[in-house]
Amino acid sequence: VRLESAREFKQEVAVEAFAARVEGLLDAAAPAEPIVSVALGVAPGTSDDDFRVAIRVPPGHEAVAEELRERVHGEADVRVLTVEARPAIPEPQAGAPPWLNEPRRPLEPGAAISLRGYGWVGTLFGFGRRKNGALVGISNAHVLGGVDRVPVGTAVLQPFGGEAVGVTAEHAPLKASGNMFDLQLFDLRRVPIVKSYNHAAGAIGRLVDVSPDDLGRTALKIGRTTGVRQGRCTAFEVDNLPVGYGAAGTLRFDNQVEFTGTPDDFSAGGDSGSMICWIGGDVPAILFAGGRSSGGQDFTYGCPALAGLRSLGIALE
């Protein structure tokens, strides 16, 4: 279908889902409408100007996915999967690259970071600069804040249990729905950093929006669990994406970008916060979640890096 048609269908279903939610508010005894659980995006079609409606549903909601597929006459890319925040996991595990899980000075993107007093580890996205010139480190809110569990000012360690390299700072607020970013900063303290570089791409380019032309495009990421992995962009403008955050519940995200690894999985637990870049170094997304489809394929989700860092007033370094 044309891009406009795919977007129009997304809008149409969003209105129906909103109506179902309102109905649920009006009558708490009413059964939950399965349509509210559907995430919709735009996936590549058979040519540069042909697209599919990306339909993502959790297990048990295959029927509503099939119904939506029929409504677009089969012009859909359907995946059944449960998406969870790439869990910030406790210790370096077997197979994790030592390079990213040992003390790295100067600090570089992809290194393992953790918090003093908390038992999990995630990945350093990279560095940014505040308007006042101060340098900050960047990762996910669920890595640096544990979804509002960790007070601002907590020491950030590199690697897990290592020396402090900064203290946690502000983050994009997380709420039940309508989220766009899982993103948090930390103020760097007394540490050397290497700028405008990551080992996946070499020189880092600019923060960029994702466009229809990027569907199918080769992407790279570097994270503390799986190191450098290659993949491709499989969907964008994914709305109403339910992401599990453990005890914090399920939060919904809009305008997300989807990737899958080629040939290996693109990411795993502990890679949360990884920088995702295109070949050439431009940076479209911050890795934060993933899941395995019923077909066994790993899908990784990133939130838009350009809009996210702009919202926090940060320029990429």
Partner 1 sequence: MRRLLALLLALALSGCGLAPTGPIAPVEPPWQPAPPEPVPIPVPPDPVPVPVPPPPPPSDVAAALDAVKVGMTEAAVRDLFSRPPVIPEAGGVRELRWWLSHGGGTTMLYVRFGTDGKVTSRGAAVVEEVP
Tell me if 69 contacts partner 1 by CB under 8 A: no
Q: Could you tell me if 111 and 197 are in contact, meaning their C-beta atoms sit under 8 angstroms apart?
A: no
Interface stretch with partner 1, choices 71-79, 149-157, 265-273, 287-295 (CB under 8 A): 71-79
Report, in Å, the least distance between residue 106 CB and partner 1: 5
| DSSP per-residue string spanning 42-86 | EEE-SSTT-EEEEEEE-TT-HHHHHHHHHHTTT-EEEEEB-EEE-
What token pair was written down for 119?
A: 């038992």
Closer residue to partner 1 (CB): 18 or 246: 18
Q: Which of 20, 152, 208, 248 binds partner 1 (CB under 8 A)?
A: 20
Tell me if 307 contacts partner 1 by CB under 8 A: yes
x-or-dash string of contact with partner 1, 89-108, rule CB under 8 A: --------xxxx-----x--
Size of the site for partner 1 (CB under 8 A): 64
Residue 75: C-alpha distances to residues 94, 141, 232, 256 (Å): 41, 36, 20, 20
Q: Could you tell me if 121 and 224 are in contact, meaning their C-beta atoms sit under 8 angstroms apart?
A: yes
Interface stretch with partner 1, choices 77-85, 141-149, 155-163, 303-311 (CB under 8 A): 303-311
Closer residue to partner 1 (CB): 81 or 112: 112
Closer residue to partner 1 (CB): 14 or 248: 14
Q: Could you tell me if 259 and 234 are in contact, meaning their C-beta atoms sit under 8 angstroms apart?
A: yes
Contacts of 245 (CB under 8 A, 6+ apart): 84, 85, 142, 147, 251
Tell me if 71 contacts partner 1 by CB under 8 A: yes
What token pair was written down for 176?
A: 């039940």
Interface stretch with partner 1, choices 139-147, 156-164, 189-197, 244-252 (CB under 8 A): 189-197
